[in-house]
Structures are given as C-alpha cells and as structure tokens.
C-alpha cells in the first residue's frame, strides 16, 4: 500500500470513529430532558432473572445504576435469587417445595435463603456496582429494621370437601412496614443501597420475602417516581401477543379478570398495581435481558416495557 493509500485509510478510520462518537453525543443530548425530569427522584429497581445470572448483563446493569446516581437520580436496588437458592439447597441435599410459586421455608431452608441472599448474591451486586465506579452498600430488610414483616398465609380449597385449609409456608413473609428513614440517609450521599428481601418479624423472626413484593413495598414507602421490575419477558402482552407500552390500573385489572394477563405475570402486575395505588408515580415491567434496559426505559421517549399508572 502506498503512503497516500495509508493516509486515506487512516482518514477513513478517523472519520468512522468520529461518526460513532457524534452519534453517542447526540444520544446523550437527547437524554438530557429525561435526566432533568428524574433528577432528585427515587427509582426502585427489582433486579433478577437472566439479567442477574449473565455476567455481561450484570456488569452493564451495574454501570447503568452508577450512571443513574451520577446524573442525580437516587436508585435503590432490590434483588431476588431463587435459582441460586435452589442450587445451594440441592448441594446441601435439603429438599424444598413450592406452593403458588412460593418456596415453603422451614428453619433449615431459611438459614440457606438468608445466607445466599444477604451473603453471596448481595455482595456480588455490591462489588459489581463498586467496580463500575459507584459506592454501593449491601443491606437486608433486617438491618435497622428496614423491612418489618408478618407471616404470609395461603388458603387452599380441597376439591373433595370444598373446605378451605390454611397452608403453612413456614418462614415466608410479606412486608408489614417499611422504615424509610434508613434509606433517606442515602439520598443526599453517593451511596447506592442494595437490598436483600429478608424481613424481620415483631418477635425477631426472620422471613423470606418475594423480591417483587419487597420492591413494591419499598417503592411505595419511598414515594418513588418509578418502580422498575426487570423480568425475562418484554412486558405485558395483549391478546394478540403485542407489547402494551402503557396502561392504566383499570385496564390492567380488566385484563387480569378476562384472563389476558395470566400465570406468573399476574403477581408482577398486582405488585405494580399496589405500588401505584400507594403513591408510586408509575411502575414498569421490562425485559432485563435487553442491554441497558433501565436506561432505555427512563431516558427515551417511549421506554421499552409496559408502564402502569393509576389512571
């Protein structure tokens, strides 16, 4: 290749690189109105599913959370960990069963649940955020009595006698009260709280709480602007399988009643409904498998998931 050809190739490469950076600068500029909209607001993110299992997605998630904090948003991360708990129980040869998607949790199982959620998983997420340049602190709902809980009860009806029977799920709980004072301490700091969904009862009992439910309760207590529920699906689909980008609580309730919203999507939507009823501006169900999902949701005009508002 002649010197002139070398120069032309270098110029073309520089031109291509410049075009890429110009596009990135344009994207940042277009995101500015949404950064201003959410500056100073609290956004609660429920982190789980494949986004948590895949290291590349987990690293991107950590960077995105740090960026949110950097532009003045107050992110609160609440994580699940069901698959990891299952792996550890299998390794320890502890049998467990499920009722309506909830793990029956005896004391032995509860010890493993707390170890995995508050220990291994929580600290992995904290480390990822810190590695991305943030300042994360790991908590469980037991710290500072952040998440007080009561025993969750389920009722089943026996087909033969049609008699209702109370099912004992063991140490499975639901939030009874959230103490926002602890989380409010982080709002004017650089700290990003990462919360394991472990609650504490009035007598000091430890409870395993569904991460979606915990996230909704925290979002309501913190009067959050957004509750972002990362899942393994695009969002809520209509009867033809098309993504619904925005809906009211009334429409969501109607779709549950007519069966359009069904299966595992029902409790997620119900969590969103409870959150917006309790003062959260909007709750969003979105696909955590999409890179930069939370940034695409809050920094673009239409988002990528299903946004649910009270009305």
- φ/ψ of residue 162, rounded to 5: 60, 25
Helix (H) or strand (E) holding 191: strand 191-196
Which is nearest to 309 in space by CA: 279, 283, 274? Answer: 283
- The answer to whether the beta carbons of residues 182 and 144 sit under 8 Å apart is yes
Nearest partner of 215 among 74, 79, 68, judged by Cα: 79
CA pair distance 243, 32, nearest whole angstrom: 26
Helices (H) and strands (E) in the chain, counts: 11, 14
Contacts of 36 (CB under 8 A, 6+ apart): none
C-alpha–C-alpha distance, residues 128 and 105, integer Å: 29
* CA angle in degrees (0–180, nearest 5) for 27-30-33: 140
- Helix, strand, coil percent content, the chain, rounded in steps of 5: 45, 25, 30
Token duo for residue 217: 């309760």
Residue recorded with tokens 């002649």: 2
Answer whether 0.85 is exceeded by the pTM: yes
> Residues in the chain with pLDDT < 70?
1-15, 156-165
**pLDDT single digits (tens) 228-251:** 999 999 999 999 999 999 999 999
State residue 162's pLDDT score: 62
First to last CA, the chain: 66
> Is residue 80 within 8 Å of residue 214, measured between CB atoms?
no
Burial track 139-175 (b if 16+ CB lie within 10 A, e otherwise): bbbbbeebbbbeebeeeeeeeeeeeeeeeebbbbbbb
Domains, the chain, in order of start with CATH, read 31-309 (3.40.1160.10)
* Amino acid 16: pLDDT: 74
pLDDT of residue 23: 78
């Amino acid at each position: 290749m002649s010197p002139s050809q070398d120069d032309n190739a270098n110029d073309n490469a520089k031109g291509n690189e410049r075009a890429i950076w110009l596009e990135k600068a344009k994207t940042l500029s277009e995101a500015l109105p949404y950064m201003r909209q959410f500056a100073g607001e609290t956004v609660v993110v429920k982190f789980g599913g494949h986004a948590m299992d895949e290291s590349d997605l987990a690293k991107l998630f950590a960077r995105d959370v740090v960026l949110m904090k950097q532009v003045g948003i107050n992110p609160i991360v609440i994580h699940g960990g069901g698959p990891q708990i299952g792996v550890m129980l299998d390794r320890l040869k502890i049998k467990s069963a499920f009722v309506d998607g909830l793990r029956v949790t005896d004391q032995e199982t509860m010890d493993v649940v707390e170890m995995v959620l508050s220990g291994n998983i929580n600290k992995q997420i904290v480390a990822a955020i810190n590695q991305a340049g943030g300042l994360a602190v790991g908590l469980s709902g037991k710290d500072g009595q952040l998440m007080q809980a009561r025993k969750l009860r389920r009722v089943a009806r026996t087909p033969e006698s049609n008699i209702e029977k109370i099912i004992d799920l063991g140490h499975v709980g639901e939030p009874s009260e959230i103490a926002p004072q602890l989380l409010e301490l982080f709002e004017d700091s650089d700290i990003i709280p990462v919360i394991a969904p472990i609650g504490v009862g009035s007598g000091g009992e430890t409870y395993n709480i569904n991460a979606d439910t915990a996230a909704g309760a925290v979002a309501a207590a913190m009067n959050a602007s957004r509750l972002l529920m990362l899942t393994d699906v695009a969002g809520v689909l209509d009867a033809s399988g098309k993504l619904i980008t925005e809906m009211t609580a009334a429409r969501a309730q109607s779709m549950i009643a007519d069966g359009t919203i069904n299966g595992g999507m029902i409790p997620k939507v119900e969590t969103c409904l409870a959150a917006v009823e309790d003062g959260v501006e909007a709750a969003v169900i979105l696909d955590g498998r999409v890179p930069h999902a939370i940034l695409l949701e809050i920094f673009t005009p239409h988002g990528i998931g299903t946004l649910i508002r009270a009305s």
